[in-house]
Every structure is written in structure tokens, then in C-alpha cells.
Amino acid sequence: MAQLFSRRATTIFRVVLTLTPLAAAAGGGLTYAWLRSDAAWGVGKPAPQPIPFRHDLHAGVLKIDCRYCHTGAERAADAGMPSAQTCMTCHSQIWAGASVLEPLRTALALDTPLRWRSVSRLPDFAYFHHGAHVSKGVTCATCHGRVEEMPKTVKARTLSMGWCLECHRDPGSRLPLHTAVLATAEKKQPSGQAPRAHDTSLLMSCSTCHR
């Protein structure tokens, strides 16, 4: 009877024994790196929109305030998307016959909403309130980046829980109060005073965001 194992079998076995854990570790490492990368969170990825709306034109060139269209940002949980009526405030006159605005005219005629797609939507298990953040001095750009420079609206930050907590751990040092795009937050504080002392323990409590 011939030998079951060749002479090289021991070497092959040793090589496989060494490489398998190494490959597993490398695979794990790559997965970890991928999950933490911006791409995995959809950063920089535009969403399909009913109309090719340009923030760089409306907010950048024309300097229309964020709150003109996102009226809920200061007081509601949802910043809100503009209604067809809001768009028509100007577009009843400007670009009135443009074919790209056809969905807008249809929405208005049929009394149906224009379905803009949010690129910054948080999952259902995270409770987020725009008003709570804006009134404490968090600017739009803190989370949404420089939207006024975006031809296509994209997510600017991962908006992962780890990213939220970076600020929730130490909000005082991170809030750019003095360069606030929204002057409201500053005005609400009595002059010369730091923003209301943030109770960090409350900010770090699970049930603050997961209700």
C-alpha cells in the first residue's frame, strides 16, 4: 500500500495552518475598515430626486436662507422639505415653462406632495430633534456640511452613532457658536454667557436618543 501523504504534506499543512488565521484576521480588519469608512455610510452619494434641484444655486448664489424652505429646522423634529407652493413662490415666474419643473407643476395640479429624498435620514430607532440642536447652537453645516456648495445634494458626514457621540461627549468645545450660520442660537443666550451648561450625563444617556 502506497503512502497516504506525500513528502510535502507536512509543509503544506503548516503553511495552511499559518495562513488561515492570517487571512481571517485580514478579512476581519478589512470589514472593520469598510464599515467605518465614509463610503459604507453613503457619504458623498446623491439620492435620486424628482427634480435636479441645486443647493449651490439656491443657497449659494442666491443666498436663500436654509429656513426659507426647511421651515421646521428651528422648532420641529423634522426640518421639513419645501411644499410645491414654496417652490412656486419664485417658480411661478422664473423658469415657469421649464420641462425639469414638470413634476412640480404636476404636484401642484394634483395636490400631491413632491417627494424629495433626504440624504441624511436617520434610522427609526434614533430620535432626533432639529429644534433641540439648532436652539443649542448646532449649525446646519455641523451635520450637513457645506450644502451651499453642492450641485447635487449629498450626505456630508456619516451620521453614525459614533459620530453623534463625538459631539455629545463634549459639546462645549465643538459648537462653533461664534461662527454660527444661524445667528438665532447666539441671540437666545443672555449676552456674554456661555450656552446653557450641557448636562453631559443626559446627553450620553441611551434614552436621550433611543426612546
Partner 1 sequence: MRLIAPMLALAALAACDSGTESREEAASTRAVQREHTAIPYGTASRGTAARAAALASPGSSATPELLDRGRERFLIFCSPCHGASGRGDGLVVSRGFPAPPSYHQERLRGAPFEHIVSVITNGTGLMHSYADRVPPEDRWAVAHYVRSLQRTEAQTAGASE
51 in contact with partner 1 (CB under 8 A): no
Cell numbers for 201, please give them. Answer: 450625563
| Best CA proximity match to 47, nearest among 108, 127, 102, 121 | 121
> Can you tell me whether residue 36 is helix, strand or coil?
helix
Segment contacting partner 1 (CB under 8 A): 15-23, 32-40, 57-65, 136-144? Answer: 57-65
The only residue of 169, 187, 196, 210 in contact with partner 1, by rule CB under 8 A: 187
62 in contact with partner 1 (CB under 8 A): yes
- Nearest approach, Cβ of 4 to partner 1 (angstroms)? 37
User: Which residues are CB-contacts of 44 (< 8 A; sequence separation ≥ 6)?
Assistant: 38, 154, 155, 156
User: Which residues are CB-contacts of 53 (< 8 A; sequence separation ≥ 6)?
Assistant: 116, 153
- Nearest approach, Cβ of 138 to partner 1 (angstroms)? 17
- Nearest approach, Cβ of 64 to partner 1 (angstroms)? 5
93 in contact with partner 1 (CB under 8 A): yes
Instruction: Tell me if 74 sits within 8 A of 131, measured CB to CB.
Output: yes
Cell numbers for 168, please give them. Answer: 455629545
The only residue of 112, 161, 200, 204 in contact with partner 1, by rule CB under 8 A: 112
User: How far apart (Å, rounded) are the C-alpha atoms in residues 43 and 36?
Assistant: 11
- Nearest approach, Cβ of 45 to partner 1 (angstroms)? 6
> Which spans of this chain sit near partner 1 (rule: CB under 8 A)?
41-42, 45, 47-48, 61-65, 67-68, 71, 78, 81, 83, 85-86, 88-90, 92-94, 111-113, 115-121, 155, 159, 183-184, 187
